[in-house]
Amino acid sequence: MSRLSERAAGRVEGERVGEKQPALMIAGYYGLGNLGDEALRLVLVEALARAGFSGLFTLVPTSDRPGEVNRANPIAVFSAMRRSSAVVFGGGGLLQNCTSRRSLAYYLSLILLARAARRPVLLLGQGIGPIRGRLARHVTRGALRHVRRVGCRDQGSLAFVESLGCTGVLDGDLLFLLRPLEETGPHARRASPRIVLALKGTGVAGTRRLVLEGRELLRGLHAETGASFTFLVSFPKQDLALARALEAHAEVPCRLVAPRTVDEASEALLSADLLIGSRLHALEIALRAGIPLLALGEEAKIAGFVREVRAVAELEIPSSPALSLDAVLAAMEHAAGRSVLLAAYRALHERTARAFAAAVESLRRDAVGDL
Q: Element (H or E) spanning 119, and its range?
A: none
Q: What pLDDT score was predicted for residue 8?
A: 38
Which tens digits make up the pLDDT trace of 197-244?
999 988 777 788 899 999 999 999 999 999 999 999 999 999 999 999
| 193 upstream amide cis, omega within 30 of 0 | no
Chain mean position to CA 304: 12
Which tens digits make up the pLDDT trace of 234-286?
999 999 999 999 999 989 999 999 999 999 999 999 889 999 999 999 999 99
Residues 342 and 339: their CA atoms lie apart, in Å, by: 5
Contact 294, 319 (CB under 8 A): yes
Residues 340 and 186: their CA atoms lie apart, in Å, by: 10
The CATH classification number of 3-177+349-369 equals 3.40.50.11720
Residues 273 and 354: their CA atoms lie apart, in Å, by: 32
Residues 162 and 55: their CA atoms lie apart, in Å, by: 33
Q: What pLDDT score was predicted for residue 19?
A: 56
Backbone angles phi, psi at 203, to 5 degrees: 85, 175
Name the DSSP class of 188: P
Q: What pLDDT score was predicted for residue 124?
A: 98
The domain 194-336 is placed in CATH, from the list 3.60.150.10, 3.40.50.2000, 3.30.70.141, 3.40.50.20, at: 3.40.50.2000
In the predicted model, what is the mean pLDDT of the chain? Answer: 91
Q: What pLDDT score was predicted for residue 188?
A: 60
Same fold, 3-177+349-369 and 194-336: yes
E strand map for the chain? 24-27, 56-60, 68-70, 86-95, 121-128, 149-152, 169-170, 194-198, 228-232, 254-257, 274-277, 293-296, 319-320
Q: Element (H or E) spanning 358, and its range?
A: helix 338-362
Amino acid code (one letter) for 5: S
Mean pLDDT in order along the chain per 10 residues (371 residues): 41 45 93 96 95 92 92 96 96 92 95 95 97 96 96 97 97 97 69 93 82 94 96 96 93 95 94 96 97 95 97 97 95 95 97 97 76 47
| Domain residue spans of the chain | 3-177+349-369, 194-336
Three-class SS of residue 52?
Answer: coil
Q: Which of 269, 334, 292, 289 is closest to 183 using CA atoms?
A: 289
Q: What pLDDT score was predicted for residue 205?
A: 72
pTM of the model: 0.92
Q: How many Cα atoms are found within 13 Å in the side-chain-facing hemisphere of 226? A: 5
Residues in contact with 244: Cβ distance below 8 Å, sequence separation at least 6, in sequence order: 256
Residues 126 and 145: their CA atoms lie apart, in Å, by: 16
